[in-house]
Structure 1
Amino acid sequence: MSNLRTLHFYATPEHDCSYLENKIAKTLFVDPQVELDQSTYSQLSDLGFRRSGKHVYRPHCDDCRACISVRIPLAVYSFSKSQKRILAKNKDIYATTHAPSFTEEYYSLYSRYINKRHQDGDMFPPSSEQFTSFLVEGAEHTQFIEFRDATDTLVAVSVIDTLEKGLSAIYTFFDPSLPKRSLGTFCILWQLQFCQQNNLNYLYLGYWVKNCRKMSYKISFRPFELLLEDQWVLVQPD
């Protein structure tokens, strides 16, 4: 069984930052050869680590602390009026849970999403190998949540990891031709509802970077908690 005291960590060489222009980054990785049990993975999540494929990592930059972990505390969370409207707008969508896998249907949706929404990102251009290494390979407790409309058309997929006291939102891709549905927000709202229904304490959203526009959505779910100086700090609505 894995535990924090026996884990080995490795730091990458400095490389270009994925989030901020003209910045250099460094990343701390857990030994990828170690199989993490749910308890250890949950503890790492509480320490600000994230998973991408087989790699569990945390920013480890020498002179920058811009990447801040975000989680939503369900005990004090309530849905805003605008969020309730998004839920109502998508009441025809149903969700089912599946083991991670590569399918042509998944990949077609993923490709359209990346090509439309993330042409300036690290995942462009998409490839089947990238999809598999990023989303299919990974933790034992990973699930794909399929979202389908009334015609049984796949409109979104959320990749989540189950933790001891919450969920970790790994990634969501959705149909970019349906902007009126606000599918990205809807999928997070669904995960928040799932946490509440299953008495889970937190939804972990990964890193927020103040000056990175694509990450601004993460702090629209209030109240939220930020990991500051290794302590989770509650941020209430304005």
Structure 2
Amino acid sequence: MTYTSPRRPQLFYTTAPMPCPYVSGRMERKVVTDIGGPDAERLHNRLSRAGFRCSHTIAYAPVCPSCNACVPIRVPVATFSPDRTQRRTLRRNAAIEGFEVPAHATTEQFVLFQRYQLARHAEGDMAGMNFYDYRAMIEDTPVDTAMVEFRTQEDQLVCVSLIDRMDDGLSAVYSFFDPGMEDHSLGSYAIMHLIAYAGRLGLPYLYLGYWIRDSAKMAYKSRFRPAEILHHGSWTALDPANLPPHGSNASRFPVSLPE
């Protein structure tokens, strides 16, 4: 598939089927494209609005032939309203502050990253990453990327969020946190911090990647309300009760990308 821009043709490729890491018994396929080069920021903005995610210099979106479980989701900053549990999380972590730092890997971050992977995702591919792999994940980017470090009053690093900045919002790329602080719900706290941070930057949305209703790892994203999902090519208010059953999503990939 080719999208032709005034600058250069944009080529898209489909990956081979692989076991889905989120829904047991299903296979996944992705459409991918390289966004490296002088057009990276413009392509990243347009593709993100079309439901793509960015990893290194690659943008990707699911095109699984028999499943549409992965639904792009974002939170409108101006209307977000934390529920009772989320307000409790904010109070519990009131002494933890988030600071934006450049996208440069540090040993301190990597130690926390390893602890998180071994405690939460020991069987996953990321658990075997060394420092150089981690540095590539953080620093190998053609777009406006930064990190938010969350620290206690004693300057202990307890959570890190990798973010991409776009023209209409922030994209929460990946977060990890101290697995010994499970009762603090640091992952949820990080998302609420990023929502507020996007508001301070004057950006209307926080993009959360893919919401997967049938995955315990990904279903939590729908708790940040009101949320919007990309459905049939348009961003619309999330109403889980009105979503269709999981079926073919072959038509979800956009023929024309939004401006």
Mapping for residues 89-238 of structure 1, pairs under 5 Å: 89-235=92-238
Q: Paired residue for 1:31?
A: 34
CA distance in 2, matches of 1:17, 1:78: 32
The CA deviation at 1:165 is 0.9
CA distance in 1, matches of 2:53, 2:191: 17
CA deviation map 1:45-99 (0-9, x unaligned): 0100001222211112222211110100123222223222211211211222111
8 A contact 2:35–2:43 mirrored in 1: no
Decide whether aligned partners of structure 1 residues 33 and 188 sit closer, same or farther in structure 2, where only a CA change above 3 A counts.
closer
CA distance in 2, matches of 1:4, 1:177: 49
The TM-score, its normalising length taken from structure 2, stands at 0.85
8 A contact 2:57–2:142 mirrored in 1: yes
Identical aligned pairs, as a percentage? 34
8 A contact 2:36–2:142 mirrored in 1: no
Structure 2: any 5+ residue segments left out of the alignment? 242-259
CA distance in 2, matches of 1:48, 1:59: 9
2:58 to 55, 58, 83: 55
The CA deviation at 1:237 is 9.6
Moved over 3 A (4+): 32-37
The CA deviation at 1:32 is 5.1
CA deviation map 1:152-199 (0-9, x unaligned): 111111000001010000000111101122110100010011122222
Which is worse superposed, 215-224 or 227-236?
227-236
The RMSD of aligned alpha carbons is 1.9
Decide whether aligned partners of structure 1 residues 79 and 33 sit closer, same or farther in structure 2, where only a CA change above 3 A counts.
closer
CA deviation map 1:106-153 (0-9, x unaligned): 100000000001123332233223312323211330001111101111
Which is worse superposed, 49-58 or 106-115?
49-58
CA distance in 2, matches of 1:21, 1:180: 28
Secondary structure (helix, strand or coil) at the match of 1:138 reads coil
CA deviation map 1:198-227 (0-9, x unaligned): 221110000111211111110110111111
Aligned AA (1:45): S
CA distance in 1, matches of 2:239, 2:212: 18
Structure 1: any 5+ residue segments left out of the alignment? none
